[in-house]
Structure 1
Amino acid sequence: MSMMRAMILNLLGCLSRALSRALPLLSNGLLREGIGPRCGPASFRFSLTSSSSSGTPDPSILPEEESREDPESRKPAISISIDRSGLHNPPEHLHEPHTDSELVKHLKSIIKFRGGPISVAEYMEEVLTNPHSGFYINRDVFGAGGDFITSPDVSQMFGEMVGVWAMCLWEQMGQPGNVNLVELGPGRGTLMVDLLRGSSKFSNFKKALNIHMVECSPALQKVQYDALKCMDEATNDDSSSKKTISMVSGSSIAWHSTLEQVPSGLPTIIIAHEFYDALPVHQFQVCQKILYSVSNDVAPPSCLWFINMPYFTSYLLYLTKRCKWASREEVTNLEHIEVCPKAMELTHQIAERISSDGGGALIIDYGKDGLISDSLQAIRQHKFVDILDDPGSADLSAHVDFASIRHCAEEASDGVSVHGPITQSQFLGSLGINFRVEALLQNCTEEQAESLRTGYWRLVGDGEAPFWDGPNDLTPIGMGTRYLAMSIVNKKQGIPIPFE
């Protein structure tokens, strides 16, 4: 009997120690399985009594169900009760089939494995680029038949004007006979096709190009391969080795997952159109700089939602750096701040490469020249949807902090200069889009003319097109002032066109 009492005392001691460790976690506001904004923490009450005539404690644990021992033999000395009223009560059957996608299951498994939330940036990265279920990975999401339309899809004139910019920069570089032309996130390859086709008459520029497409999606790589009319040719030195040639320009072309994989050592022209907006952002509250993280209630109904985490992360360094670049007024007036560490790291890498190899980068995206507040959004089939609605089925993007890009580039190297941002309307107008649209209108059908006018307005206009007389839900909306253009160039090359 004494051995039984010792075992019970030991069990009671283990339980008490476990509960004492659990209580601080439950009261800290940290989210764990089944505990969060939708279900409160459990409360624990302890009571100790003694009924032994010999003075020796005879402890028993009284659970909510009846003990299996003979009631006459029980001598309760200690009782522990657990108040579960604050907990979410799941239904009786926990193994019913559910319709979670593979990506949602993956997100929940990460959260469950960690025992706590993941950051907004981690959520965004998984949703967009997860190797199996990411939004960009296994399908074509661009164009009228996709989820959104980009400027190259609107009109051929956009890619042609970017080609004019690239040729002007090449001239300022001294017309090198070998140059890397790099596009980050090429989409369907439309911009590059229009750039190459528009500059095809400039033979020296065309011959100098080595094209590099930075694209992580195998599905989009295939779309780009077809759009650029690519062919694989055997190299002279090794019959088993092949190189890819674009029949649009006769230039060699290669694909890479990251900018680091693009060979260095040659002057480089980098184009990043609507690339920065898809880089994952961290969200902080101005008050106490609390990070917004994503978590889920693992007890049915299981779902994902945003919570405030009462502690900092390793990305506090990036937040501190970003706030250092801002004025006191900027920080004071914001309720939230978005910081994009990957944008900072990418800009640093671009600036270092341009400083050492020569060349320049063109960045065009929607955003502003200052701190960004709460801008994260989701788009599915050309409509805004909830950010957590069916992850992986909608594009996630955030406004680009152009001021941060400028500071990062200048901090990375003294060998580069940063110009802009200017509006997309100013950028395209200075490169001659007005003359281009007039020339195209000279020889086209009425239907083509309407398409040109609509495309022109979307590229350079501001707000709704005044000439539109079609359905209201199809009114062309100008992107001319919402999109900004910025350039980072090697200082030796002077000020790039059209940023003078």
Structure 2
Amino acid sequence: MLGRLLRQASAARRFAESAIPALSRCSLRSYSSSTESQVPNSTFVEHLEDQAATTISIDRSGLYNPPEHSHEPTSDSELVKHLKGIIKFRGGPISVAEYMEEVLTNPKAGYYINRDVFGAEGDFITSPEVSQMFGEMIGVWAMCLWEQMGQPSRVNLVELGPGRGTLMADLLRGASKFKKFTDSLHLHMVECSPTLQNLQHCNLKCTEGDNNGENIEKRTISTIAGTPVSWHATLEQVPSGLPTIIIAHEFFDALPIHQFQRASHGWSEKMIDVAEDSLFRFVLSPRPTPATLYLMKRCKWAVPEEIEKLDQIEVCPKAMDLTHTIAQRISLDGGGALIIDYGLNGVVSDSLQAIRKHKFVNLLDSPGTADLSAYVDFASIRHSVEEASDDVSVHGPITQSQFLGSLGINFRVEALLQNCTDEQAESLRTGYWRLVGEGEAPFWEGPDEEAPIGMGTRYLAMAIVNKKQGVPVPFQ
């Protein structure tokens, strides 16, 4: 019996190998073992016993024919594979907001996570990197607010998305002569990138403090002004209970947005899918998505004429939610927040952009290698504040030029020009123009493509403060 079974099995294998030349022996073994794992052994044995060797037939319907495999290395990055994996797992496209969040802050391959993206050698330059005067003027604003708060002895000074830490370093350096102010501060840097945290630690000239013998964990101290520093992944992790001053410079523009496009049946959310050629592409959702609730809220805040003329709308749920958190924190603890970013004081249509090496590139091209950002909807921030609390007030937006000019940047640049070299003077004039000017600098004598472009009117400033403190400077 056993001998006949073995002979039949051997004959079946020889027949299969000769009848299916396209399958290698390795493939056949793989198929056999997978089949055996699915069919109980007793059934397999009974089936062979009932058939003669000359009448064995092969059922090819269950054979797995794998696609041709190339041993050439794939050109897809780990982030691209990850994004395609999400889309495949979902069985459909992902939102623009999900795409942005993965591209910018994916823990392993996000754009901001493992690199220094700022400055001339990076992909873009921010105002603190342009001139020390920017951070100094933010320090003037924070000190004025601190005085309006009654000069409290302990204050949380929070920066959202601190970049290299340049703004905060210049703020502390400029305010270091005002010891009562700097002694009251505890810095809280809200930053998710380990690489940027290290840069901030370096630029703030941090060291480990001794806590005067207290039996608690040693604190990190910025030696610029002897100020304690802590790092957090989110604003919610910053301890509450103290008056709080929040700085958000070019932070809201990187928050993930949802895009909606007007279609025949109404507004449809734009999504990102993988095309047949394996490239990313935009598609429209055939049905309402969860973000539609935020679109409805945004449309309710706008006048009908503002919506009717648009074919596309961008909404940023995370900006609305973050604004709620800021307003509630200020309502309970006192203090204020300053938001400076490029944007509009109204509904934003189609502003999402990708920047690599100071140039605009395709949004879907090589995700993770370019910065993604969108215009900030300042009107939406105002409505979110008003919705969150009756104890806070919102002021602005005003242009960055108006904001910095009212705080005294004109006097500061004149003072710095009194004692500097010709090279330093040129750098100061260029930086000043970039911060407060509009268009190309009129004094520029170098190559046209390198002419400094003013950000004075493209960037807007808005303040959120506890009503007990009155109207903050320079929004009176």
TM-score over 0.5 (shorter chain): yes
Show the counterpart of 1:44: none
What does residue 228 of structure 2 align with?
Answer: 252
Hey, what's the Cα distance between the residues in 1 that align with 2:216 and 2:85? 43
Whole-Å separation in 1 of the counterparts to 2:424 and 2:397: 32
8 Å CA contact 1:234, 1:240 repeated in 2: no
User: For residue 201 of structure 1, what is the amino acid of its counterpart?
Assistant: K
Deviations 1:202-245 (A, max 9, x none): 11001000100000000000000000000123445666722100
| 1:469 aligned partner | 445
Q: Is 1:193 the equivalent of 2:180?
A: no
| Count of equivalent residues | 412
Deviates more, 1:422-431 or 1:380-389: 380-389
Offset at 1:285?
Answer: 1.2
SS of residue matched to 1:177: coil
Name the counterpart of 2:416.
Answer: 440
Q: Find the counterpart in structure 1 of residue 345 from structure 2.
A: 369
Mapped to 2, the partners of 1:233 and 1:173 lie a distance apart of 28
CA apart distance, 1:93: 5.5
1:296 and 2:274 are equivalent in the alignment: yes
Residue of structure 2 equivalent to 1:41: none
The residue type paired with residue 89 of structure 2 is: F
| Structure-2-length-normalised TM-score | 0.84
SS of aligned partner of 2:394: strand
| Correspondences of 1:223-372 after superposition (within 5 Å) | 223-235=199-211, 241-287=217-263, 288-297=266-275, 299=276, 301-372=277-348
Structure 1 residues 284-327: Cα deviation after superposition (integer angstroms, max 9, x where no partner): 01341100011103x5x311111111111111111111000000
Matched, 1:400 2:353: no
1:6-405 matches, within 5 Å, as 97-235=73-211, 241-287=217-263, 288-297=266-275, 299=276, 301-405=277-381
Letter aligned with residue 238 of structure 2: V
Mapped contact 1:461–1:479 kept (Cα < 8 A): yes
Q: Which amino acid aligns with 2:219?
A: K
Instruction: Considering fraction of residues, name the structure with more helix.
Output: 2
Q: Distance in 1 between matches of 2:350 and 2:135?
A: 31
Greater Cα offset, 279-288 or 487-496: 279-288
Instruction: Report sequence identity in percent.
Output: 73
Q: Which of 387, 409, 412 is the equivalent residue of 1:411? A: 387
Say which SS state the counterpart of residue 280 (structure 2) adopts: strand
Q: Is the CA contact 1:158–1:191 (under 8 Å) kept in the aligned structure 2?
A: yes
**Which range is displaced more, 136-145 or 272-281?**
136-145
AA partner of residue 100 (structure 1): D
- Alignment of 1:423 with 2:391, yes or no, is no
Q: Indicate the residue corresponding to 2:14 in structure 1.
A: none
C-alpha contact 1:286 1:331 (8 A) present in aligned 2: no
Aligned counterparts of 1:321 and 1:454: Cα–Cα separation in 2: 42
Partner of 2:49: none
Cα shift readout 1:151-199 (whole Å, capped 9, x = no counterpart): 0000000000000000000000000000000000000000000000001
Q: Which amino acid aligns with 2:462?
A: M
- The 1:144/1:494 distance shift into structure 2, 3 A limit, reads same
Contact 1:214 1:259 in 2 (8 A): yes
C-alpha deviation, 1:133, in angstroms? 0.1
Q: Which residue of 2 aligns with 1:10?
A: none
Counterpart contact for 1:216–1:256, Cα < 8 Å = yes
Q: Residues of 1 paired with 2:439 and 2:331: CA distance?
A: 38
Please list every run of at least 4 consecutive aligned residues from structure 1 whose deviation after the TM superposition is greater than 3 angstroms: 91-97, 234-240
